[in-house]
A and B are shown apart, each in its own frame.
Chain A
């Protein structure tokens, strides 16, 4: 296989499609995974409900 323009282009056009689609599916699965729900809810609430403006020691 020669490393010329056409080869690189063909690789970019095919591989790019697969990894971006795979990544999108991965992100959606992560975001909707039922076990993650609790920590997401907690994270969303945590910034609103912090009563004292100090670092935790």
Chain B
């Protein structure tokens, strides 16, 4: 991998790594006595680990000029593997936290294993570790193919991929130590947030620089989705994380906003993280890999443009539906509710577009589990967006809010839509990236498909039951006008569903492990010898025959 970098890029990489290591050590020094120091050492160790990889290949010969005739896919390959590793770990933690709710003793009396610390490891791990790495890996792939241009250089994609994973590592380790800003999906503290801004700006610049070099004049719709994802996540991240650290040597910070403004900012961020991280980016995947795998152009390109602008401009206003019946002004709540309902139009336009693309190719969906993953993703996308719009209605929200119904809804989207489209896209991408004729085992993809589908269904149905029971028990009054059920009564009622949910999650995790094994076997088996390529090799000179020797 280092051999693909030019000598100048290797020098720049070394300089960047020295700076990272120095910053890590500086954090460790100024933050001594504080958890900041632990993170400082982690940063320094991470920088040194990457430095070792760099130094081992530093004296490799310069990459040949012919590289400009190829796309640059090394970061995509590493991103795919990182995504699957994060996926397996974070989903395993997810099963653990699900089990904790059913059997609270599973913390084993360790502070780091308490629910409040494990839960963000699960959420950040699946969203940012699994989803984020998949988005970075696929975006580099799609960007190059649709613009017919190679990435502008070989260093910046590595900076983005490895820098982003450093952020993910800091996030997860921080949670274990009890560090949090207490903002959902934005828990990492100020220094990690600042680092992510740097990484993210470089990510956006890669996109812009590649587009500037594009050979294909039209910018394919998937790129618009990826760009919206990158740009809006940058805006959301910066605004929601505005905070004042206690001191430069202290990990703790205080948010710039307070009260209802803080809540509104957080849910403007939180809902748009769903919209632009978990939707726009993955729609970019859908609009490239689904038509590609099906071998059919997208049903309506015009509809994809209309849904793009609909999603981009309307999602921005939907966040306040997380704050129904709070101190937030009533009209702002109504605004969020109305935009959530209108959002159904662009959402279903995308889901319908995907399914109509497959219309006429159902035999492929039947035979090819990879394509079936993508089809299922589109179906769940349609279901989850419908459910989301419905739950945003104030009266419905009065039943669903703060209950497990919300958890079920999120997982219908996260397991059914995000993870399915990711697995489908990665399965399609792996043979292309490692130049293999097919995956190691199509049967295992089939096994994974049914594990994922049954896991999702078990999970979502148990949470629907649990959530609605919980919501109804909370609002049941007896003849005297007092609550009929205590909090403990609701827990007892929910317990069987919590066990079922853990089982559903376990099925889904088993599927992810199967996926990792399948991809690993695909990569690690030697590439088959291409029959066609044999003709292109120089023919070995025929051995001189005895009867043709000179002097005869």
Binding site for B on A (CB under 8 A): 9, 13, 20, 23-24, 27-28, 30-32, 39-48, 50, 53-57
Contacts and interface: CB of A to CB of B under 8 A. Distances in A.
A43 B302 CA distance: 11
A26 to B, nearest CB: 9
B69 A57 contact: yes
A32 B146 contact: no
Given A41-B301, A44-B291, A55-B150, 8 more contacts: A20-B314, A27-B305, A30-B305, A31-B303, A32-B302, A44-B297, A47-B292, A56-B215
Which 6 residue pairs of A and B lie closest in terms of their CB atoms, listed nearest first? A44-B297, A56-B215, A56-B148, A31-B302, A40-B301, A44-B301
Contact of B288 (A20, A27, A40, A47): A47
A44 B292 CA distance: 10
25 contacts: A20-B313, A24-B309, A31-B302, A31-B306, A32-B302, A39-B218, A40-B301, A40-B302, A41-B297, A44-B297, A46-B146, A46-B216, A46-B218, A47-B145, A48-B291, A48-B292, A50-B145, A55-B69, A55-B71, A55-B144, A55-B148, A56-B148, A56-B215, A57-B68, A57-B69
B507 interface: no
B73 to A, nearest CB: 10
Interface of B: 68-71, 144-146, 148-150, 215-216, 218, 220-221, 288, 291-292, 295-298, 301-303, 305-306, 309-310, 313-314, 331, 432
Nearest to B219: A43
B221 A43 contact: yes
Nearest to B288: A47
Given A54-B71, A55-B144, A44 B313 contact: no
Give the interface centre of A13, A39, A50, A55 by most chain B CB atoms within 10 Å: A55
Contacts of B144: 55
B306 A46 contact: no
A23 B326 CA distance: 31
Contacts of A44: 291, 297-298, 301
B291 to A, nearest CB: 6
A42 B467 CA distance: 48
A55 B310 CA distance: 32
A43 B306 contact: no
A17 B295 CA distance: 41
A13 B334 CA distance: 12
A55 B71 CA distance: 6
B302 A53 contact: no
B220 A43 contact: yes
A54 B306 contact: no
Given A48-B295, A48-B296, A27 B220 contact: no
A23 B221 CA distance: 18
Contact of B220 (A9, A47, A53): A47
A31 B305 contact: yes
B301 A43 contact: yes
Nearest to B314: A20
A47 to B, nearest CB: 6
B306 A53 contact: no
Contacts of B292: 47-48
A54 B291 contact: no
Contacts of B149: 55-56
Nearest to A43: B218
A53 B145 contact: yes
Contacts of A54: 69-71
A48 B310 CA distance: 26
Contacts of B146: 46-47
Contacts of B432: 53
Contacts of B306: 27-28, 31
Contacts of B68: 55, 57
Contacts of B305: 27, 30-31, 40
A48 B297 contact: yes
A31 B301 CA distance: 9
